[in-house]
């Protein structure tokens, strides 16, 4: 009787199935009626280092390069945050 019972799939097993099927999860893109991009989540990286890193075919993760990319992206994020706060105070 135990062989007939199905085991309950765990969240990790479901996540692995999704990864195998190459689905893009946790993304949201909003367009206007004209077809222009309004909002995208997660935001696209703006730094030139990130664009150059996408073109490289190196395997593995280069931590030094990743840190540098994050520092450069942080500059853009801080600027966006400043704009948001200034709009809020107006």
Among residues 14, 49, 43, 11, the alpha carbon closest in space to that of 27 is found at 43
- Number of C-beta neighbours around residue 76 at 10 A: 13
Q: Which is more confidently placed, 46 or 14?
A: 14
pLDDT band at 53 (very low <50, low <70, confident <90, very high): low
> For the whole model, what pTM was predicted?
0.43
Domain ranges of the chain: 11-89
């Amino acid at each position: 009787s135990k062989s007939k019972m199905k085991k309950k799939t765990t969240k990790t097993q479901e996540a692995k199935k999704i990864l195998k099927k190459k689905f893009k999860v946790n993304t949201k893109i909003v367009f206007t009626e004209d077809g222009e991009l309004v909002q995208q989540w997660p935001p696209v990286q703006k730094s030139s280092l990130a664009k150059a890193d996408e073109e490289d075919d190196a395997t593995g993760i280069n931590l030094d390069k990743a840190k540098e990319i994050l520092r450069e992206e942080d500059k853009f994020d801080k600027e966006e945050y400043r704009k948001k706060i200034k709009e809020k105070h107006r």
